Amino acid sequence: MLTERDGKFYLDDQEFQILSGSIHYFRTVPDHWEDRLMKLKALGLNTIETYVPWNLHEPKKGEFNFSGLANIEAFISLVKKLDLYMIVRPSPYICAEWEMGGFPAWLLKEREIVLRSSDPIYLKHVEDYFNVLLPKFKEHLYQNGGPIIAMQIENEYGAYGNDLNYLGFFKEQYAKHGLDTFMFTSDGPVFMEQGSLDDVTTTLNFGSRVSEAFNKLAEFKPNSPKMVAEFWIGWFDHWNGEHHTRDAHDAAEVFRDLMEIKSSVNFYMFHGGTNFGFMNGANHYDVYYPTITSYDYDALLTENGVITEKYKAIKKVLSEYIDVPEDYQSKIKTHEYGPVELTESVSLFDTLKDISKRVDHLVPLTMEELDHPYGYTLYRTRINRQGDLSFNTDAIQDRSYIYINGKYVATTYKNDQEKDKTLNFPNEINILEILVENMGRANYGEHLEDKKGIVKNIWLGEQYWFNWEMYLIDAETLPKDYIEKDNRFPKFYRGKFEVETIHDTFVNLDGFSKGNVFINGFNLGRYWQTAGPQKTLYLPGPLLKEGENEIIVLELEASNNNYIQLVDQPNLG
């Protein structure tokens, strides 16, 4: 087992330096797991670290998913097969720029719940989940012949709260399920005291200033082993922002500082991957910052797994301290398939009955209350007044398109500085429609309880409006009939193309505005060409098939193109 004493880690009583990289199995298609892990091993690392997202594994209360991208046991078995060690971070909260920090949105149906605390309502849900999840790890522990040498207690808790009884709950859960393994907490140096337990190893998360960070650890817990559990070598991007990069030489020199003091290290990220579907998170500070689809992170491997200059710089430094393996020759290639004509289109409003479920209620319900946590919801009601009516949009989360009597009239966004609008209702009886997009729940900080949709009744013309229809637009069900009568956006565009040999590629959406792309029914994620920085979506080859393939673009706003391009290079801005 992994242990620590006298400021050092030991594995089977032999001094051990953890050299690890973060790969999130749920951000990489399973057919590519081995490629990414082999590149990690070829760098000279001995360990792989991953989070475990609750919302992927229990998308609805009591309904569990451990297949496909969620097949964590298959991933662990592959780690073992490749003779690597593993660190698992199964906290119910993971942050990770992932939707709601990994929490399932159905938790927000509990009106009195207190997340990340000893609140019994919250802990009962965690325990129910852990009763299914944690037993899966027991056979994969190192002492049972598996690769898992350590597990984390919660995640950066010092940056959130100070309920140490809550942290103790995780030790009890691990013991209950026979997970007798090395345990640790991780926090930034500023917050580590609030997020640590006396009898559990404290590790740090940072990207620079090595001596300063470990001096603080030594003051707090003298003679602690040195480990940076998240060595931030890049950063994530948000819509309407710039693509972040970090100089390879700078990252390598900080890594050299870590090697000089024989610190253990986990590169965050070794390989970032992709926020497929609607699973990107968001940060909410002065304003709301939704994360883009790509989680490239300027990591050691690109989003599509290409070795970077930063990887090479890190390997050069590492080679000065240990014997490093030969480079791994990947068989995965990218390919430019060229233009794909989108020959059919249909308005979302023409296909609403086929792709949505209708719910009627006195007042608008949030997406969480509707058991429809992701994507889009259309809210509809009758307005029996005529003329200009004042309207405050603060009830709408996050972005919406407003229609009156079937005509588009306005777009609203969570970040709008001016929330007050005036809407004109031309008739004595009018139909008001509000199509709302959840652009990602906050994954960090004080806004974790980030409800989506229309979160309170609409105050319009100095009064409330009752009796609403709500259409839950299920992005897992795509239109089959493309018979267009209504010319309004959003619109679905469909095209088909032939593939002889399967390779990775990228979807270039020049001429489109904002929406989602589906390949053979799989939701690749969001695009937002008019905001950036990301301009292409990564399409992993295993999602294609030899022969005919179908691509569907859900365009929310406007398009002046009837084709997309499948190109061989990404454009992240």
From 439, 454, 473, give the residue that closes a domain.
Answer: 473
pLDDT at 386: 98
Assess contact for 26 and 53: CB atoms under 8 A.
Answer: yes
Q: Report the C-alpha gap between 53 and 104 in whole angstroms.
A: 9
Same domain membership, residue 64 and residue 207: yes
Total domain count, the chain: 3
Q: What DSSP letter does each residue of 343-409 carry, written as one string?
A: -EEEEGGGSHHHHEEEEEESS--BTTTTT--SSEEEEEEEE---EEEEEE-TTEESEEEEEETTEEE
pLDDT digits (tens, 9 = 90+) for 288-312: 999 999 999 999 999 999 999 999 9
Same domain membership, residue 382 and residue 233: no
pLDDT at 475: 87
Is the dihedral angle over the CA atoms 542, 543, 549, 553 positive or is it negative? Answer: negative
Q: Looking at the predicted structure, is the pLDDT value of residue 283 above 90?
A: yes
Same domain membership, residue 443 and residue 559: no
pLDDT at 468: 98
Q: If you average pLDDT over every residue of the chain, what do you get? A: 97
For tokens 């920090």, the residue is 101
Residue 333 inside a domain? The answer is: no
Q: Looking at the predicted structure, is the pLDDT value of residue 371 above 90?
A: yes
CATH number of residue 420's parent domain: 2.60.120.260
Same domain membership, residue 457 and residue 310: no
Same domain membership, residue 189 and residue 70: yes
Q: Which band of pLDDT confidence, cut at 50, 70 and 90, is reported for residue 89?
A: very high
Q: Report the C-alpha gap between 102 and 92 in whole angstroms.
A: 7
Hey, which residues are catalytic here? 156, 230
Same domain membership, residue 361 and residue 503: no
Of 488, 506, 493, nearest to 544 by C-alpha is 506
The Cα angle at residue 261 between residues 236 and 212, in degrees rounded to 5: 60
Q: Report the C-alpha gap between 437 and 378 in whole angstroms.
A: 9
Residue 326 inside a domain? The answer is: no
Same domain membership, residue 145 and residue 17: yes
Residue 329 inside a domain? The answer is: no
Average pLDDT over residues 55-67: 98
Same domain membership, residue 165 and residue 118: yes
Residue 325 inside a domain? The answer is: no
Q: Which band of pLDDT confidence, cut at 50, 70 and 90, is reported for residue 269?
A: very high
Residue 331 inside a domain? The answer is: no
Say what percent of the chain tops pLDDT 90.
99
pLDDT digits (tens, 9 = 90+) for 127-186: 999 999 999 999 999 999 999 999 999 999 999 999 999 999 999 999 999 999 999 999
Question: Residue 26 sits in which domain range?
Answer: 2-318
pLDDT at 552: 98
Q: How far is CA 224 from CA 5, 204, 214, in A?
A: 8, 11, 9
Q: Report the C-alpha gap between 291 and 275 in whole angstroms.
A: 9
Residue 324 inside a domain? The answer is: no
Residue 133 inside a domain? The answer is: yes
From 473, 500, 518, give the residue that closes a domain.
Answer: 473
Q: Looking at the predicted structure, is the pLDDT value of residue 359 above 90?
A: yes
Regarding pTM above 0.95, the answer is: yes
Same domain membership, residue 370 and residue 221: no
Same domain membership, residue 186 and residue 84: yes
pLDDT at 474: 84
Of 98, 94, 57, 106, nearest to 449 by C-alpha is 106
Same domain membership, residue 37 and residue 169: yes
pLDDT digits (tens, 9 = 90+) for 215-260: 999 999 999 999 999 999 999 999 999 999 999 999 999 999 999 9
Q: Looking at the predicted structure, is the pLDDT value of residue 90 above 90?
A: yes
Of 236, 278, 269, 303, nearest to 505 by C-alpha is 303
Residue 332 inside a domain? The answer is: no
CATH number of residue 247's parent domain: 3.20.20.80
Of 504, 500, 508, 540, nearest to 522 by C-alpha is 540
Same domain membership, residue 497 and residue 456: no
Q: Looking at the predicted structure, is the pLDDT value of residue 57 above 90?
A: yes
- Where is 317: in which H helix or E strand? helix 309-318
From 454, 473, 492, give the residue that closes a domain.
Answer: 473
Assess contact for 504 and 335: CB atoms under 8 A.
Answer: yes
pLDDT digits (tens, 9 = 90+) for 376-406: 999 999 999 999 999 999 999 999 999 999 9
